[in-house]
Structure 1
């Protein structure tokens, strides 16, 4: 296998991952999907739904925690991704309160989770300031490198 064919395989794997997760994001709202924009390099995904609900669908708002809308700030959410492969945990230990909840304001460098890799507990820290709009990864579930863990709505500087 040549170096070029390896790069092509890696790009195809990344593209498959992006398509799979973008499709999941597209189905995350009962409103009709309006647009999905995918950027490369740091992999930013922008998803926009129509303001109206699709005919014949029911809102599931009562089943989930309320989240601040990205539209209210005029900016797209920031996905905080896994820095390594391992098992994601939302709390320091079983039964302890989670590091963050939906609606919490997160500061740069604040611990938001743990990834266990090879029996080592690695702190996951926020690289951006923002309000948690969604907890994407399931507590205790395996995660892959750069898989989304949390979505943050950017917060202003004050």
Structure 2
């Protein structure tokens, strides 16, 4: 069990990291804080996205082609708020937060992304029915990567 002092330092660092990310412009890819010998690193995602019709460079992996790729991009999705590891359940062996067919409401937790030992809850931004889980449990995810595909809920579906 960690002593009370180190737990307070860790809590303080968590609060500072959340405030820092909220205050920074643009999507932050990585934040690294240290308490001893004070170090701070911030890494942003590339702010200029590649044009849609651009040909991938020789070193870049080609995006998978197929109807499922096109269909997935047309659907609303719950996206990763940070780079990290995606978990579908609150702890190993527990039931997942959501499964295919479940109705979700705005603000409902659909998963967790662990980043730098911080567990970040991922919440739905809109109501919908889960039509596909796009990332396996325990897999790495990038910022803004779709995690759960939704079918929007209309008044008759609610």
Which range, TM-score by smaller chain? 0.5 to 0.7
Match of 1:45 in 2: 73
Match of 2:50 in 1: 12
The correspondence for 1:87, drawn from 85, 88, 93, is 85
Q: How far has the Cα of 1:155 moved from its partner?
A: 0.5
Task: Provide the secondary structure at the position in 1 that maps to 2:68.
Answer: coil
Match of 1:131 in 2: 129
Task: Describe the superposition over 1:106-139 as per-residue Cα deviations: whole angstroms up to 9, x where unpaired.
Answer: 0000000000000010100000100000000110
Residues in 2 aligned to 1:114 and 1:8: alpha-carbon distance in whole angstroms? 24
Q: How far has the Cα of 1:85 moved from its partner?
A: 0.3
Unaligned runs of 5+ in 1: 1-6, 30-35, 38-43, 47-76
Quote the RMSD (CA, aligned, Å).
Answer: 3.1
- The count of residues paired between Structure 1 and Structure 2 equals 106
Unaligned runs of 5+ in 2: 1-44
TM-score (norm 2): 0.58
* 1:106-117 paired onto structure 2 within 5 Å: 106-117=104-115
